[in-house]
């Protein structure tokens, strides 16, 4: 069972919680109908993302076997056969298609928009897997766009309007994580040799500059989000103070990346870094208080 969970990369499903962003910021988390639709979007995105992970592992078996960590992936180490991997890929894609069709009556007019987002994510990541992940800068833009599609999927699934600042914030936040991962790969490549063609278009200095620009943009976007009239009308002027948590989290991320070189896999930070975990928890609690206890 564990090998199948590894093949699906269930730990990466944390990224798909971005589909809940529209629901969270709308203040309708306790609304059953909106919550069910968001869960639907989460499950669909998780399954389609896992199908891409399988296809990527299938294509990169030989390269993964030379990587110090990726060599332990189920397809690379042979614990799951290539044939079974392809079969599971087809099963996952088919399940998502059926899943979306069955939701037609429930989602009504928004279903086709949600389906377009899921389809766009799938096609974009097919292109990424077979070609574009080897093209520097384009690769990280595709990763960042994937997070935006998650947020849009959550918005279309629930019918909740998404702030333009929230969309831009999502993009630059994902860009921060993608650049941080590339930087980590560059550090490891200096020891074990390059394992990704796109790394030819990066160096540590360039990654540091892009990372600094992206973090600055992310903080500005969040600041502007909290200052927009509709946000302050909904949450109150005190929402501005949540910027403190955001700044601290980004500074901690930069410290992990630039000082300790520990960010090849961004999701590891969520699971292992207690400072960021506490900061996220405090941010969530503060926002929940602002949303649901506004006086």
Mention every residue, 6+ apart, whose C-beta is less than 8 A from residue 134: 196, 197, 198
User: Residues 64, 175: one domain?
Assistant: no
Q: What pLDDT does 179 receive?
A: 92
- 38-43-44-50 Cα dihedral, nearest 10 degrees: 140
The CA distance from 237 to 294, in Å, is 10
The tally of CA atoms less than 13 A away on the side-chain side of residue 92 is 23
What is the reported pLDDT for 193? Answer: 64
State residue 188's pLDDT score: 79
pLDDT at 171: 96
One domain for residues 157 and 220: no
Domain end call among 162, 187, 204? 162
> Considering just the CA atoms, what is the radius of gyration of the chain in Å?
20
What pLDDT is attached to residue 44? 93
Residues 44 and 185 in one domain: no
- With a cut of 50, list the residues of the chain below it in pLDDT: 295
Q: Do 131 and 192 belong together in one domain?
A: no
CATH of the domain at 91: 1.10.357.140
Q: What is the pLDDT of residues 105-115, one digit of tens each?
A: 666 667 888 99
Residue 211 has a pLDDT of: 93
Task: Clarify whether residues 4 and 129 are in a common domain.
Answer: yes
Q: Are residues 152 and 170 in the same domain?
A: no
Among 162, 193, 224, the domain-final residue is: 162
How confident is the model at residue 181, as a pLDDT?
A: 86
Cβ count near 5 (within 10 Å):
12
Residues 27 and 143 in one domain: yes
Give yes or no: residues 83 and 198 share one domain.
no
Range of the structural domain that residue 236 is part of: 163-295
């Amino acid at each position: 069972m564990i090998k199948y969970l590894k093949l699906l990369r269930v730990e990466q499903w944390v990224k798909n919680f971005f589909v809940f962003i529209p629901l969270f910021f709308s203040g309708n988390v306790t609304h059953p109908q909106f919550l069910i639709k968001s869960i639907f979007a989460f499950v669909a995105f998780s399954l389609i993302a896992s199908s891409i992970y399988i296809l990527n592992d299938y294509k990169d078996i030989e390269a993964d076997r030379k990587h110090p960590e990726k060599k332990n992936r189920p397809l690379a180490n042979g614990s799951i056969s290539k044939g079974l991997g392809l079969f599971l890929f087809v099963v996952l894609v088919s399940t998502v298609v059926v899943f979306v069709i069955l939701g037609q009556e429930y989602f009504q007019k928004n279903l086709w928009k949600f389906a377009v987002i899921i389809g766009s994510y799938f096609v974009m990541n097919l292109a990424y897997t077979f070609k574009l992940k080897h093209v520097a800068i384009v690769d990280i833009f595709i990763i960042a766009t994937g997070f935006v599609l998650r947020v849009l999927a959550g918005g279309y699934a629930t019918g909740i309007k998404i702030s333009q600042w929230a969309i831009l914030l999502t993009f630059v936040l994902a860009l921060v994580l993608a650049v941080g991962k590339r930087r980590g790969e560059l550090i490891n490549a200096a020891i074990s040799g390059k394992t990704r063609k796109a790394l030819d278009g990066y160096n540590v200095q360039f990654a540091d500059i892009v990372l600094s620009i992206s973090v600055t943009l992310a903080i500005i976007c969040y600041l502007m989000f909290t200052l927009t009239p509709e946000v302050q009308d909904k949450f109150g002027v005190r929402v501005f103070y949540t910027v403190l948590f955001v700044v601290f989290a980004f500074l901690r991320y930069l410290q992990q990346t630039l000082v300790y070189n520990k960010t090849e896999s961004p999701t590891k930070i969520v699971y292992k870094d207690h400072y960021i975990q506490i900061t996220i928890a405090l941010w969530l609690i503060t926002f929940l208080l602002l949303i649901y206890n506004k006086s």
